[in-house]
Amino acid sequence: MRKENSPGTRKTSSMKEQIRRIEKKHAELATRIEELGKRAILTPAEQREYGELKKHKLAVKDEMTALKRAVA
């Protein structure tokens, strides 16, 4: 049995690869957020970074969810 190499199949494969990259980025953001969250006190710069990371992580999750719906 041979896999089809149609444009739709390539697009789905490309989207799945994009999802994997986004999942990796999401995990990296989560790790950094966790690192900052373990500190008792954050500097003002770290507080800004923490907030920005949380917003970025949410945006990445939204993008990942949208792509997963498109593939399904």
- CA dist 61 and 32 (Å) reads 15
pLDDT for the residue numbered 11: 75
* Residues in the chain, total: 72
Question: Confidence band (pLDDT; 50, 70, 90) for 12?
Answer: confident
- CA dist 48 and 46 (Å) reads 5
60 within 8 A of 25, measured Cβ to Cβ? yes
Q: What is the domain range of residue 72?
A: 42-72
Please indicate, yes or no, if residue 59 is contained in any of the structural domains: yes
* pTM of the entire predicted model: 0.80
What percent of the chain is modeled with pLDDT above 70?
Answer: 89
Alpha carbon 64 to its chain's center: 6
Please indicate, yes or no, if residue 23 is contained in any of the structural domains: no
Mean pLDDT of 35-60: 97
Please indicate, yes or no, if residue 53 is contained in any of the structural domains: yes
Question: Confidence band (pLDDT; 50, 70, 90) for 72?
Answer: confident
| Number of domains comprising the chain | 1
